[in-house]
């Protein structure tokens, strides 16, 4: 089957699409409030020097701009609530791009990425789950729009890493050296130790960091797609963006990218089972923890009779029917729960030395 035919026919559970839709709605709402705050405190951009991509006649007046901002915020609320969500995503993304076209001085790649993802998701069945107007349930739909959003994520990495690779100043570390010199105070304000900043502000350190950043972005552009590298790529990318968030001001781009990472998860619900020993306090605590952090609905959580399995607080049944207990079960939980995902690699490494904690028994 060709790639085009596969895109047209592929379908899956829409739960993850609902999660991503809610996240986009929140990010759009925050962006809209920021625009309104700027209008109230700084003033209307059209009253001062600005550089529109569009003809000046297409730039709105202050009153029209204010009305469009209110519409933008209302659309973001509808997106979050799931009420006419797809139409609201389309409206919000279109207005956002229009705002960028009205003044190139306000153009930022992270803002464009937000509107681009919102536009693509508006063509997906993201309104079939987690809405205030419809009951939740096991619902399926086409995934081609979600795949295009994933492709957009890879394009961003490829464009960013490729342009840096071709830039001798970036490749040599001079751009990072200047950035550390200018903005290191922001990292210190966020709690990064002074000694760490001083170490990474050296020319040899920024040169190494630049090459690592370029290699990471180029790897993520392709590694996110291969089943054997996807989980590691997601983990590496999560840490990559967390470090960027701690050292730079990127207007929520970190949270936007981590949100889009959810689209790379398998589009099913309750594909794994977690059995816990209800007679043990730790077993009950683990079950509650996973239930509270299972934002992508990976698990069906059930209690077993104490004498049915025995000897374990929790047992995870994977999609293929194999079982994970002990440290391997904890590694699986960290792999599948977004809030714990940053701990996945070290836990998985430790679990790899505990062969006795895994079983190939079928359900």
Lowest-pLDDT range of 79-93, 138-152, 198-212, 275-289: 198-212
| 242 alpha carbon, distance to own chain's centre | 11
Residue 336 has pLDDT above 50, yes or no: yes
Helix 109-121 to helix 253-261 angle (10° resolution) is 30
Q: Please choose, from the candidates 241, 246, 252, the residue with its C-alpha nearest in 3D space to the C-alpha of residue 31.
A: 252
Give me the mean pLDDT over the 280-305 stretch: 91
Residue 177 has pLDDT above 90, yes or no: no
Distances (CA, A) of 27 to 96, 129, 179: 12, 19, 26
Share of the chain above pLDDT 90, in %: 67
The pLDDT of residue 257:
96
The pLDDT mean for the chain works out to: 89
Encoded tokens for 299:
């698990």
Between these two residues, 222 and 279, which has the higher pLDDT value?
222
Residue 155 has pLDDT above 90, yes or no: yes
Q: Which long-range contacts (CB under 8 A, 24 or more apart) does 160-167 make?
A: 160/217, 161/213, 161/214, 161/215, 161/216, 161/217, 161/218, 161/220, 161/221, 162/218, 164/210, 164/213, 164/214, 164/217, 165/214, 165/218
Distances (CA, A) of 71 to 9, 21, 92, 308: 35, 18, 8, 57
Residue 127 has pLDDT above 60, yes or no: yes
Encoded tokens for 13:
């559970």
Give me the mean pLDDT over the 157-174 stretch: 93
The pLDDT of residue 205:
85
Secondary structure of residue 279 in the 3-state scheme: coil
Render pLDDT for 28-59 as a digit per residue (tens, 0 to 9). Answer: 999 999 999 999 999 999 999 999 999 999 99
Q: What are the DSSP E strand ranges found in 194-239?
A: none
The pLDDT of residue 362:
30
Which residues lie across from 275 on neighbouring strands? 302, 315
Q: Do the Cβ atoms of 195 and 174 come closer than 8 Å?
A: no
Residue 78 has pLDDT above 80, yes or no: yes
Q: Rounded to the nearest 5 degrees, what angle is found at the Cα of 112, between the Cα atoms of 111 and 118?
A: 95
Q: What is the DSSP string of 118-155?
A: HHHHTTS-TTSSS-SSS-----EEE-HHHHHHHHHHHH
Encoded tokens for 225:
């797609």
Residue 3 has pLDDT above 80, yes or no: no
Regarding beta strands 299-304 and 272-277, do their DSSP bridges make them parallel or antiparallel, or are they unpaired? parallel
At 357, the pLDDT band (50, 70, 90 cuts) reads very low
Element of type H or E holding 9: helix 3-9
Residue 96 has pLDDT above 90, yes or no: yes
Residue 122 has pLDDT above 50, yes or no: yes
At 7, the pLDDT band (50, 70, 90 cuts) reads low
At 181, the pLDDT band (50, 70, 90 cuts) reads confident
The pLDDT of residue 358:
47
């Amino acid at each position: 089957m060709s790639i085009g035919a596969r895109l047209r026919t592929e379908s899956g559970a829409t739960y993850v699409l609902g999660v991503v839709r809610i996240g986009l709605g929140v990010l759009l709402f925050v962006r809209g409030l920021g625009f309104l705050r700027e209008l109230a405190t700084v003033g209307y951009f059209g009253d001062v020097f600005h550089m529109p991509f569009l003809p000046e006649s297409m730039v709105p007046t202050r009153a029209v701009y204010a009305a469009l901002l209110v519409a933008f915020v209302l659309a973001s609320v509808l997106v979050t609530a799931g009420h006419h969500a797809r139409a609201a995503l389309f409206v919000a993304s279109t207005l956002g791009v229009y705002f960028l076209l009205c003044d190139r001085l306000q153009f930022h790649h992270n803002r464009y990425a937000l509107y681009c993802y919102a536009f693509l998701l508006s063509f997906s069945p993201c309104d079939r789950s987690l809405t205030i107007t419809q009951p939740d349930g096991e619902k399926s739909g086409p995934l081609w729009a979600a795949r295009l959003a994933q492709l957009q994520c890879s394009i961003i990495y490829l464009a960013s890493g490729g342009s840096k690779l071709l830039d001798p100043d970036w490749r040599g570390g001079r751009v990072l050296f200047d950035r550390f010199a200018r903005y290191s105070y922001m990292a210190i304000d966020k709690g990064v130790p002074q000694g760490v900043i001083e170490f990474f502000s050296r020319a040899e350190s920024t040169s190494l960091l630049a090459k690592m950043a370029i290699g990471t972005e180029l790897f993520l552009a392709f590694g996110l797609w291969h089943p054997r590298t996807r989980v590691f790529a997601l983990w590496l990318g999560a840490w990559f963006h967390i470090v960027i968030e701690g050292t730079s001001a990127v207007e929520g781009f970190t949270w936007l990218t981590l949100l889009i990472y959810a689209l790379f998860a398998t589009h099913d619900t309750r594909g794994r089972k977690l059995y816990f020993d209800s007679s043990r306090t730790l077993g009950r605590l683990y079950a509650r923890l996973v239930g509270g952090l299972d934002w992508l609905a990976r698990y069906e959580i059930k209690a077993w009779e104490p004498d049915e399995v025995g000897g374990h607080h929790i047992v995870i049944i994977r999609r293929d029917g194999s079982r994970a207990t002990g440290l391997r079960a904890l590694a699986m939980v960290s792999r599948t729960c977004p809030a714990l995902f940053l701990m996945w690699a070290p836990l998985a490494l430790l679990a790899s030395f505990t062969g006795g904690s895994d079983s190939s028994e079928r359900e």
